[in-house]
């Protein structure tokens, strides 16, 4: 059994100040799509995470082109996932002298691009 090494380019953003749950909505839209189509989807999706994902996708494309010498015409989004990062815990005063905890969630977002085999 001979395995062919397929080149891949990846970009990772750690500690993004947005919850992983919000990022996954847009991530599911572009998984498996060509990069041109993925960029168009991200550009016109009115979600908070789409701006972050667009920047990360452009970074992954630049990595593919400059670091791995891949042809950008044949690239597609092979993997995209958002994992939960550390949560910043803050306190907000509440009624009767009590306090309510505010959880400011972060996420680690990773995009993996691969070249299509014709």
The pLDDT tens digits for 52-109 are 999 999 999 999 999 888 888 889 999 999 999 999 999 999 999 999 999 999 999 9
End-to-end CA distance of the chain, in Å?
21
Query: Could you tell me the residue ranges of all domains in the chain?
Result: 8-115
Q: Which pLDDT does position 116 carry in this prediction?
A: 85
Name which residue leads in pLDDT, 28 or 1: 28
Q: How far apart are CA 87 and CA 103, in angstroms?
A: 6
pLDDT tens, residue by residue, 28-40: 999 999 999 999 9
Q: How far apart are CA 11 and CA 75, in angstroms?
A: 14
Q: How far apart are CA 79 and CA 61, in angstroms?
A: 13
Q: Is the pLDDT of residue 27 over 60?
A: yes
Contacts of 80 (CB under 8 A, 6+ apart): 27, 30, 31, 53, 109, 110, 111, 112
Q: What is the domain class of 8-115 according to CATH?
A: alpha beta
């Amino acid at each position: 059994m001979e395995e062919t090494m397929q080149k891949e380019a990846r970009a990772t953003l750690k500690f993004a100040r947005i919850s992983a749950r919000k990022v996954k909505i847009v991530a599911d839209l572009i998984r498996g799509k060509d990069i041109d189509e993925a960029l168009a989807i991200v550009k016109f999706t009115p979600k908070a995470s789409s701006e972050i994902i667009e920047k990360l996708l452009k970074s992954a494309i630049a990595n593919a082109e400059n670091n791995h010498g891949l042809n950008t015409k044949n690239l597609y989004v092979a993997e995209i996932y958002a994992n939960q990062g550390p949560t910043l815990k803050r306190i907000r005063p509440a009624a009767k002298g009590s306090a309510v905890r505010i959880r400011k969630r972060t996420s680690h977002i990773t995009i993996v691009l691969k070249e299509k085999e014709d």
